[in-house]
Amino acid sequence: MIREHGFNSAWWGGKAGIVEQADFFGHSPEAIREALAPFEWAEFRNPLDAELPLARIRDAGFVFADTQVNFRVGLAGRPAQCVESLSLEPASNGTWRADASEWAIFGQERFRLLPGITPARLNQRYARWAAELVHRAPETCFEIRSAGEPAGWYFAEPGRSGAINLTLGVLRRGSRISGYAMYEAALCRLAAMGYRIGWASFSIANSAVHNIYARLGARFVSPGGIWLWTRKP
């Protein structure tokens, strides 16, 4: 019915759950309460469609938190270097590490709705995520440098058959480069490495990223919904 989300639990410092099937809400209210009892909070993810039991989701105490925009973007045919003033240093070179204290704040993420959350704590979640990506795929995680200074970071993870997950991009706090320039430079490097298509998702609230990927030629596909439940005090 529900399982622990290990990554979120480690970040939060308490037990966090994940519901992955709408069938969960077909159980009795008592069974749902019992299943949720061990968790401090939980989320439910599902494609948005007309068959979702919205009333049951609401009655179980889950609130709609976000729409995730899914997309695909072609990489083949992009120039090897799109922005000459930017350089990309892969994590595999060992010259940098993810440090969330230098990052711009993630202001549009659903986890900002959790009780007691702070911008610094929210950024720490993404720092953990970035560190895992660097560990698994250091050659496709980059520090973006302008005039030799860090301006942002881009973390991607290879998939199958020439595809790559464009997982996370973040500007340095106070950086003067545009988000578009950073994302374009990362996609050009990945194309030069032989990747043919990228995919990812982002919050519908993040209009800046939406506009960047639209300008980069993304094709948007079926969105997903995310609901959050938090234990009452």
Burial of 9 (0-12, 13-18, 19+ CB in 10 A): middle
- What pLDDT does 50 receive? 76
Give the chain's mean pLDDT: 93
Q: Write the DSSP string, 166-184.
A: EEEEEEBTT--S-HHHHHH
Per-residue pLDDT of 75-128, as tens digits, reads 998 876 676 689 999 999 999 988 888 898 887 789 999 999 998 898 899 999
Question: Tokens in use for 76?
Answer: 């083949």
Question: Tokens in use for 224?
Answer: 């997903």
- Cα separation of 128 and 135, whole Å? 11
Which segment of 31-40, 71-80, 127-136, 176-185 scores lowest on mean pLDDT? 71-80
State mean pLDDT over 196-221.
96
pLDDT category at 56 given cuts 50, 70, 90 is very high
Give me the domains of the chain, ranges plus CATH numbers.
3-61 (no CATH), 72-222 (3.40.630.30)
Question: 178 vs 15, 67, 172, 212, CA distance in Å?
Answer: 38, 25, 11, 10
Name residue 172's beta-bridge partners: 103
State mean pLDDT over 153-162.
95
User: What is the amino acid identity at position 9?
Assistant: S
- Nearest C-alpha neighbor of 185 from the set 217, 211, 163, 153: 153
- Cα separation of 219 and 213, whole Å? 9
- What pLDDT does 23 receive? 94
- What pLDDT does 51 receive? 87
Q: Write the DSSP string, 30-64.
A: HHHHHHHTT-SEEEEEEE--TT--HHHHHHTT-EE
pTM across the whole model? 0.92
